[in-house]
Amino acid sequence: MNRKWIRIGMLFMVMALVAAACSNTDSDDTTTTAAAATTTGASAATTTTVAAASTTTAAPAATTTAAETSGEVAFDIGVTAEPCPEGNPDNGCIYLGILTDQSGPFQSASPALVGAQRAFWAAANAAGGIGGAFDVAMPDDLTKDTQYSPEVFVQQYNDIAGEIAAVGQSLGTSQSIAALDDMARDSTVAAPMSWWSGWAFDELDKGLIIEFGTNYCFEAMNAFDWSMEAVPAAGRPTPTRVGILAIPNDYGADYSAGVKLAAEANGVEVAWESTVIPISAGGDEAQVEAIQAVLSDPVDIVYLVTGPSETAAIVGGAAAQGATNLFIGAAPSWNVALLGTPAAPAFEAGLYFQSAFVGPWAYDSPGHEAMRQTLAAGGITDEETNDFFVSGWVSQYGLKAALDQAYASGDLTKAGIAGAAGALSSVSYDGMMPDRDFGGDPNTQFPRMSLVGAVDVTQPTGIAVVQDFFVGPTAEAFDFTTACAG
């Protein structure tokens, strides 16, 4: 891992109020009731009496302590009357788990994702936390490396299931899907680091995933529609043939489906579609086969549904061998660190564009400004950031809304949090991306807006917006009644 990211991870270990490792349950299988804790929070209108029930089984069933009065809050797994480590001594603590990728294709993203999520909760805790009565913690001992493997993901989830109220980061589509049955068993909700179109449907996500942002499928459609006008406007021929290079999982399949749907709508040929094995999973570091696909049958645009390492190898390698086509990458395919690789000249030459569900680091919104100020206070400068910080930060808005609602309902049990998540109506992201509704029909209420960025070395994360949030005609007309893929 780049030493810069090691240093950033260390900074957040020091900065975040919630970063210290701890154990928040007893070592036996008994159910205990903690002494009532009386707390007065800045945002609480009255004194809050907290009645605590905690279980410690490896695969817990929610144990609900009903609130006898409006001043009592029921809780069980992953919530304590005792304060978080280094938290407000008058508050209880809500523990969130992190299931991330520290050794797979997105290992370079993990420090920023985790760091931003911890910073989000440090800021939220400083502003009163949940109801002025609970802080939120994401400690190291509840942060697990899933290796971007569905099997390992399930193992790691079950390792922490008896200690967490919810999963604050569930990285990977097929990985998260693999754990859904176990999460349903435990009534555990999760904020995904995944934009699979299936998360919009309760029958597919079991009502447990608090998704955020526009899905891969709509993001791809919009990027494609944008290219049909932007490419000829820049002096290149209107695209007539495109190719797809994608990781063989639901991430790759969902974005690829969006590309193919938009190609059909625009009368453009998908000349070829080739599989990319992540380097971390044994794929070729030089990505020779992918580059050969680009060179052997030239197309106008190649869509990349990969990780940053594969993006660097493919774009840099193809350009070095004479490829002049454009590349458009899905949101997770870019990292500003790529400008420090041998592929930098290809990126700087304007061959690469990125679609995204959220504005990049320098985007002008109240949410971005709050994020930048919080991270700057933790020692993260513009020179040390990337857009995975943005994804990490914005991912927690929906989870906070669910915890706020659960607290307001007097039920912070796992079942209570799941119920609150399922009842969310709308969530605001402070302008970082479009607000969204959660209730009702996904076909009419799921967000379809995304943006497009281009490489700009003057920007902190190497990307400047060239097309702000919009909905292209393909996404606008699409009948969204089931997942695009998976």
Domain match, 232 and 136 both: no
CA–CA distance from 162 to each of 183, 210, 282, 451 (Å)?
Answer: 11, 20, 33, 39
pLDDT above 80: residue 277? yes
pLDDT of res. 256: 98
Q: What is the per-residue pLDDT for 71?
A: 66
Alpha-carbon distance of 153 to 194, in angstroms, equals 14
- Domain presence at residue 86: yes
Q: Indicate whether 48 and 149 sit together in one domain.
A: yes
- Give the separation between CA 246 and CA 304, rounded to whole angstroms: 6
The mean pLDDT of the chain is 87
Proportion of the chain in helix, strand, coil states, percent, rounded to 5: 40, 20, 40
Output the pLDDT for position 233: 96
Is 333 inside any structural domain?
A: yes
- What mean pLDDT is predicted for residues 409-420? 97
Residue 482 lies in a domain: no
In a domain, 485, yes or no: no
Higher-confidence residue: 381 or 188?
188
**For position 381, what pLDDT does the model report?**
80
Asked if residue 483 is part of any domain, the answer here is no
Tell me how many degrees the CA angle 319-320-323 measures, rounded to the nearest 5.
Answer: 35
Least confident of 8-22, 127-141, 146-160, 454-468: 8-22
For 372, phi then psi, to 5°, come to: -60, -40
**How far is Cα 219 from Cα 470, in angstroms, rounded to an integer?**
10
**SS3 state of residue 377:** helix
Same structural domain, 341 and 385 = no
210 versus 15: which is more confidently predicted?
A: 210
> What's the mean pLDDT in 328-350?
95
pLDDT at residue 197, rounded to an integer: 97
Exposed / middle / buried, residue 445 (Cβ in 10 Å: 0-12, 13-18, 19+): middle
Exposure string for 69-102, b = 16+ CB within 10 A, e = fewer: eebbbbbbbbbbbebbbbbbeebbbbbbbbbbbb
Please indicate, yes or no, whether residues 176 and 266 belong to a single structural domain of this protein: no
User: Are 307 and 281 part of one and the same domain?
Assistant: yes
Other CB atoms within 10 A of residue 251 CB: 26
Residues spanned by the domain of 239: 216-356+448-477
Residue 312 and residue 231 share a domain: yes
In terms of domains, do 8 and 117 share one?
Answer: yes
Check whether 376 has a pLDDT greater than 80: yes
For β-strands 79-80 and 426-427, DSSP reports them as: unpaired
In terms of Cα–Cα distance, which of 432, 433, 425 is closest to 401?
425
Angle at 433 between CA 429 and CA 438, to 5 degrees: 65
Separation between Cα atoms, residue 77 and residue 85, nearest integer Å: 17
Q: Within this chain, do residues 336 and 452 fall inside the same structural domain, yes or no?
A: yes
Using pLDDT thresholds of 50, 70 and 90, give the confidence band for residue 459. Answer: very high
When pLDDT is cut at 50, 70 and 90, the band that residue 214 belongs to is: very high
Instruction: With both helix axes pointing from N to C terminus, report the angle between 216-233 and 250-266 in degrees, rounded to the nearest 10.
Output: 50
Cβ distance 314 to 276 under 8 Å?
A: yes
One domain, residues 121 and 240: no
Question: Taking a C-beta distance cutoff of 8 angstroms, is the pair 312, 253 a contact?
Answer: no
Q: Is residue 55 part of a domain?
A: yes
Local confidence band at 24 (pLDDT 50, 70, 90 cut-offs): very low
* Encoded amino acid at 279, one letter: I
Q: What is the pLDDT of residue 66?
A: 33
Q: Can you tell me the mean pLDDT for 330-359?
A: 96
H-helix or E-strand spanning residue 403: helix 396-408
Same domain, 254 and 159: no
Mark whether 352 and 374 lie in a shared domain: no
Total of domains in the chain: 2
Q: Which amino acid is at 215?
A: N
Question: What is the number of alpha carbons within 13 Å of residue 182 lying toward its C-beta?
Answer: 21
Same-domain check for residues 43 and 145: yes
What pLDDT does residue 278 have?
Answer: 93
**Other C-beta atoms lying within 10 Å of the C-beta of residue 335:** 25
What residue ranges in 282-345 does DSSP mark as E strands? 301-305, 326-329
Q: What is the pLDDT of residue 439?
A: 81
CB-hemisphere CA count at 13 Å for 466?
21
pLDDT in tens, 471-483: 999 999 999 999 9
CATH of the domain at 231: 3.40.50.2300
H-helix or E-strand containing 261?
Answer: helix 250-266
Structure tokens at 302: 């190649």
CA-CA distance, 78 to 30, in Å (whole number)? Answer: 15
Percentage with pLDDT > 70 across the chain: 85
Q: Is 46 exposed, middle or buried (0-12, 13-18, 19+ CB in 10 A)?
A: exposed
Query: Which pair of tokens denotes residue 179?
Result: 């754990």
Residue 42 has pLDDT above 80, yes or no: no
